[in-house]
Structure 1
Amino acid sequence: MAHLWVGNVEDDTSDDEIREFLVRYGFPPFDEIQRYSGTGTRPAVVLTFNHASCDALRSLQPRIHDMFWKDRTIVVQVMPEHDES
């Protein structure tokens, strides 16, 4: 299981739009999404990929990190692995 942080995502971006965007750049479809509004200026999402490794996501990350998408520059990071027990 791996997690991907995508920051500065336009608040009204749908789950489907995020999925389509990522798949277009080679990512597998995500299994879960969590939204974080923060202060409202740079909302983010954390995506869970149940069948992808952190290494796999790291190899794809440069394709979209710092990309201008929907009038914003998005920031993409693979979150460190952690024990969920």
Structure 2
Amino acid sequence: MADIWIGNVQDDTSDDEIREFLIKYGFPSFDEIKRVEGTGTRPAVVVTFHDTSPDALRNLQSRIHNMFWKNRTIVVQVMPERDDS
């Protein structure tokens, strides 16, 4: 399991739009998505892929990191592995 953080996502972006965007750039379809509001100026999402490794996501990360999408420059980071035990 692996997660990516996508920061500075326009707040009215739907889960389906995020899924389509990621798939367009070679990512697999995600299994979960969590909205992170923060202060409200730069909303983010954490996207979880159950059958994907962090290394696989790191290989794809550069395709979309610092990309201008929906009037914002998004920031993408692969999250450290978490222990769900």
Bin the TM-score by the shorter chain. over 0.9
Match of 1:62 in 2: 62
- Aligned 1:3-82 pairs, distance under 5 A: 3-82=3-82
Q: Tell me how far apart the structure 1 counterparts of residues 74 and 64 of structure 2 sit (CA, whole Å).
A: 8
Q: Secondary structure at the match of 2:48?
A: strand
Q: For residues 40 and 82 of structure 2, what CA distance do their matches in structure 1 show?
A: 27
Letter in 2 for 1:25: Y
Partner Cα separation in structure 2 for residue 43 and residue 70 of structure 1? 13
Q: Which runs of 5+ in 1 are unaligned?
A: none
Unaligned runs of 5+ in 2: none
Aligned residue pairs, count: 85
Displacement, 1:69?
Answer: 0.1
Residue type at the aligned position of 1:49: F
Runs of 4 or more, structure 1, over 2 Å off, are: none
TM-score when normalising by structure 2: 0.98
Deviation at 1:49, TM superposition (A): 0.1
Q: TM-score if structure 1 supplies the norm length?
A: 0.98
Task: Using the aligned pairs only, state the percent identity.
Answer: 75
Rounded to whole Å, the distance in 2 between the matches of 1:83 and 1:37 is 24
